[in-house]
Copies of this chain bind each other. A is one copy, B any other.
Protein backbone atom coordinates (compact mmCIF):
# COMPACT_ATOMS: atom_id res chain seq x y z
CA UNK A 1 0.00 0.00 0.00
CA UNK A 2 1.03 3.60 -0.58
CA UNK A 3 -0.71 6.73 0.66
CA UNK A 4 -0.76 9.87 -1.46
CA UNK A 5 -0.66 12.39 1.34
CA UNK A 6 -1.50 16.07 1.59
CA UNK A 7 0.33 17.17 4.74
CA UNK A 8 -1.62 19.40 7.14
CA UNK A 9 -4.81 19.55 5.09
CA UNK A 10 -7.89 18.29 6.99
CA UNK A 11 -8.66 15.12 5.02
CA UNK A 12 -5.11 13.72 4.94
CA UNK A 13 -4.99 14.33 8.71
CA UNK A 14 -8.28 12.43 9.24
CA UNK A 15 -6.85 9.37 7.51
CA UNK A 16 -3.49 9.46 9.31
CA UNK A 17 -5.28 9.81 12.68
CA UNK A 18 -7.51 6.88 11.75
CA UNK A 19 -4.44 4.73 11.04
CA UNK A 20 -2.99 5.76 14.41
CA UNK A 21 -6.20 5.06 16.37
CA UNK A 22 -6.35 1.64 14.73
CA UNK A 23 -2.76 0.98 15.70
CA UNK A 24 -1.79 0.32 12.07
CA UNK A 25 1.59 1.54 10.83
CA UNK A 26 1.33 4.13 8.07
CA UNK A 27 2.25 2.77 4.65
CA UNK A 28 4.79 4.50 2.41
CA UNK A 29 3.76 8.16 2.10
CA UNK A 30 3.92 9.97 -1.22
CA UNK A 31 3.72 13.70 -0.46
CA UNK A 32 1.58 15.76 -2.85
CA UNK A 33 2.01 19.51 -2.37
CA UNK A 34 -1.38 21.19 -2.74
CA UNK A 35 0.12 24.69 -2.50
CA UNK A 36 2.28 23.83 -5.53
CA UNK A 37 -0.84 22.45 -7.29
CA UNK A 38 0.72 19.01 -7.56
CA UNK A 39 -2.80 17.54 -7.13
CA UNK A 40 -3.85 19.23 -10.38
CA UNK A 41 -1.26 17.60 -12.63
CA UNK A 42 -2.32 15.13 -15.37
CA UNK A 43 -0.43 12.39 -13.50
CA UNK A 44 -2.40 12.85 -10.28
CA UNK A 45 -5.68 13.36 -12.15
CA UNK A 46 -5.24 9.85 -13.56
CA UNK A 47 -4.96 8.53 -9.99
CA UNK A 48 -7.96 10.52 -8.70
CA UNK A 49 -10.08 12.38 -11.26
CA UNK A 50 -11.58 14.39 -8.37
CA UNK A 51 -8.05 15.77 -7.77
CA UNK A 52 -8.40 15.41 -4.02
CA UNK A 53 -6.23 13.98 -1.28
CA UNK A 54 -5.58 11.56 0.26
CA UNK A 55 -5.59 8.48 -1.98
CA UNK A 56 -4.67 4.98 -0.81
CA UNK A 57 -3.09 2.88 -3.52
CA UNK A 58 -3.60 -0.82 -2.86
CA UNK A 59 -1.03 -3.48 -3.73
CA UNK A 60 -3.01 -4.45 -6.86
CA UNK A 61 -2.83 -0.83 -8.08
CA UNK A 62 -6.43 0.10 -7.15
CA UNK A 63 -6.63 3.77 -6.16
CA UNK A 64 -8.99 4.31 -3.24
CA UNK A 65 -9.98 7.95 -2.79
CA UNK A 66 -12.31 9.72 -0.35
CA UNK A 67 -11.33 9.86 3.32
CA UNK A 68 -14.17 7.76 4.67
CA UNK A 69 -13.77 5.15 1.92
CA UNK A 70 -10.14 4.67 2.96
CA UNK A 71 -11.16 4.46 6.62
CA UNK A 72 -13.88 1.88 5.85
CA UNK A 73 -11.41 -0.23 3.92
CA UNK A 74 -9.08 -0.21 6.93
CA UNK A 75 -11.97 -0.96 9.33
CA UNK A 76 -12.91 -3.99 7.25
CA UNK A 77 -9.33 -5.34 7.30
CA UNK A 78 -8.71 -4.41 10.96
CA UNK A 79 -12.03 -4.53 12.83
CA UNK A 80 -10.52 -3.70 16.26
CA UNK A 81 -10.90 -1.20 17.80
CA UNK A 82 -14.20 -0.60 16.01
CA UNK A 83 -14.33 3.05 14.95
CA UNK A 84 -17.51 2.64 12.85
CA UNK A 85 -19.50 0.70 15.48
CA UNK A 86 -19.85 -2.88 16.68
CA UNK A 87 -23.48 -3.70 15.87
CA UNK A 88 -26.23 -2.46 13.57
CA UNK A 89 -27.48 0.24 15.92
CA UNK A 90 -24.02 1.59 16.75
CA UNK A 91 -23.09 1.53 13.07
CA UNK A 92 -26.20 3.52 12.22
CA UNK A 93 -25.66 6.06 14.98
CA UNK A 94 -21.96 6.58 14.19
CA UNK A 95 -22.74 7.00 10.49
CA UNK A 96 -25.46 9.49 11.47
CA UNK A 97 -23.14 11.59 13.62
CA UNK A 98 -20.27 11.43 11.17
CA UNK A 99 -22.61 12.72 8.48
CA UNK A 100 -24.22 15.36 10.67
CA UNK A 101 -20.74 16.72 11.33
CA UNK A 102 -19.56 16.38 7.74
CA UNK A 103 -22.66 18.05 6.28
CA UNK A 104 -22.72 20.57 9.13
CA UNK A 105 -19.62 21.94 10.86
CA UNK A 106 -16.97 20.34 8.65
CA UNK A 107 -18.64 21.42 5.42
CA UNK A 108 -19.26 24.97 6.65
CA UNK A 109 -15.71 25.46 7.96
CA UNK A 110 -14.32 24.19 4.65
CA UNK A 111 -16.67 26.48 2.72
CA UNK A 112 -15.52 29.50 4.72
CA UNK A 113 -11.88 28.59 4.09
CA UNK A 114 -12.20 27.78 0.41
CA UNK A 115 -14.42 30.71 -0.45
CA UNK A 116 -12.81 33.46 1.65
CA UNK A 117 -9.17 32.61 2.44
CA UNK A 118 -6.57 34.52 0.39
CA UNK A 119 -4.47 31.36 -0.08
CA UNK A 120 -7.37 29.76 -2.00
CA UNK A 121 -7.83 32.48 -4.60
CA UNK A 122 -5.87 30.54 -7.22
CA UNK A 123 -7.19 27.10 -6.28
CA UNK A 124 -10.92 27.77 -6.01
CA UNK A 125 -13.56 29.69 -7.95
CA UNK A 126 -14.43 31.67 -4.83
CA UNK A 127 -18.03 32.65 -4.09
CA UNK A 128 -17.77 35.11 -1.17
CA UNK A 129 -21.54 35.03 -0.62
CA UNK A 130 -21.24 31.29 0.09
CA UNK A 131 -18.50 31.88 2.66
CA UNK A 132 -20.74 34.44 4.37
CA UNK A 133 -23.79 32.17 4.38
CA UNK A 134 -21.75 29.36 5.94
CA UNK A 135 -20.11 31.60 8.53
CA UNK A 136 -23.60 32.39 9.80
CA UNK A 137 -24.32 28.69 10.36
CA UNK A 138 -21.23 27.88 12.44
CA UNK A 139 -22.71 28.69 15.85
CA UNK A 140 -25.72 26.46 15.19
CA UNK A 141 -23.43 23.60 14.16
CA UNK A 142 -21.33 24.12 17.30
CA UNK A 143 -24.41 24.19 19.52
CA UNK A 144 -25.52 20.79 18.18
CA UNK A 145 -22.09 19.34 19.02
CA UNK A 146 -21.94 20.97 22.42
CA UNK A 147 -25.34 19.60 23.44
CA UNK A 148 -24.36 16.10 22.35
CA UNK A 149 -21.04 16.34 24.21
CA UNK A 150 -22.76 17.58 27.37
CA UNK A 151 -24.31 14.14 27.74
CA UNK A 152 -21.49 11.98 26.34
CA UNK A 153 -17.69 11.75 26.67
CA UNK A 154 -17.48 11.29 22.88
CA UNK A 155 -20.04 12.07 20.18
CA UNK A 156 -21.50 8.55 20.16
CA UNK A 157 -21.02 7.61 23.79
CA UNK A 158 -18.19 6.13 25.82
CA UNK A 159 -15.87 5.27 22.93
CA UNK A 160 -14.06 7.44 20.43
CA UNK A 161 -15.26 6.85 16.87
CA UNK A 162 -14.65 8.12 13.36
CA UNK A 163 -17.27 10.82 14.04
CA UNK A 164 -14.99 12.34 16.69
CA UNK A 165 -12.10 12.43 14.22
CA UNK A 166 -14.25 14.28 11.68
CA UNK A 167 -15.56 16.72 14.27
CA UNK A 168 -12.21 17.30 15.97
CA UNK A 169 -10.50 18.06 12.66
CA UNK A 170 -13.32 20.46 11.80
CA UNK A 171 -12.71 22.32 15.08
CA UNK A 172 -8.94 22.32 14.41
CA UNK A 173 -9.54 23.83 10.97
CA UNK A 174 -11.55 26.74 12.38
CA UNK A 175 -8.26 28.46 13.23
CA UNK A 176 -6.78 28.71 9.69
CA UNK A 177 -10.30 29.56 8.53
CA UNK A 178 -10.25 32.51 10.97
CA UNK A 179 -13.38 31.40 12.82
CA UNK A 180 -13.20 31.88 16.59
CA UNK A 181 -14.52 29.17 18.95
CA UNK A 182 -16.78 31.03 21.40
CA UNK A 183 -15.82 30.61 25.05
CA UNK A 184 -19.22 29.30 26.11
CA UNK A 185 -19.00 25.97 24.31
CA UNK A 186 -17.45 24.34 27.36
CA UNK A 187 -18.27 20.77 26.35
CA UNK A 188 -16.58 21.17 22.98
CA UNK A 189 -13.53 22.64 24.70
CA UNK A 190 -13.33 19.72 27.16
CA UNK A 191 -13.72 17.09 24.43
CA UNK A 192 -11.40 18.80 21.93
CA UNK A 193 -8.72 19.16 24.57
CA UNK A 194 -8.93 15.44 25.24
CA UNK A 195 -8.71 14.60 21.54
CA UNK A 196 -5.73 16.89 21.00
CA UNK A 197 -3.91 15.18 23.90
CA UNK A 198 -4.15 11.73 22.28
CA UNK A 199 -0.95 10.51 20.59
CA UNK A 200 -2.91 9.95 17.36
CA UNK A 201 -3.69 13.66 17.05
CA UNK A 202 -0.08 14.45 16.12
CA UNK A 203 -0.27 12.07 13.14
Contacts and interface: CB of A to CB of B under 8 A. Distances in A.
Interface of A: 49-50, 56, 58, 62, 64-66, 68-70, 72-73, 76-77, 87-89, 91-93, 95-96, 99-100, 104, 125, 127, 129-130, 133, 144
Given A50-B104, A133-B130, A89 B73 contact: yes
Contacts of A69: 92-93, 95-96, 99
B92 A70 contact: yes
Contacts of A88: 73, 76-77
From A49, A73, A87, A133, residue with most partner B Cβ within 10 Å: A73
6 contacts: A65-B96, A66-B96, A73-B88, A76-B87, A127-B129, A127-B130
A98 B49 CA distance: 15
A91 B73 contact: yes
Given A65-B96, A69-B92, A76-B88, 9 more contacts: A64-B93, A64-B96, A66-B95, A69-B93, A69-B95, A70-B92, A73-B92, A127-B127, A127-B133
Contacts of A130: 127, 129-130, 133
This chain: copies in complex: 2
Contacts of A76: 87-88, 91-92
B95 A72 contact: yes
A72 B133 CA distance: 31
Given A49-B144, A129-B129, A129-B130, A62 B89 contact: yes
A125 B133 CA distance: 8
Given A129-B130, A133-B127, A68 B95 contact: yes
B50 A72 contact: no
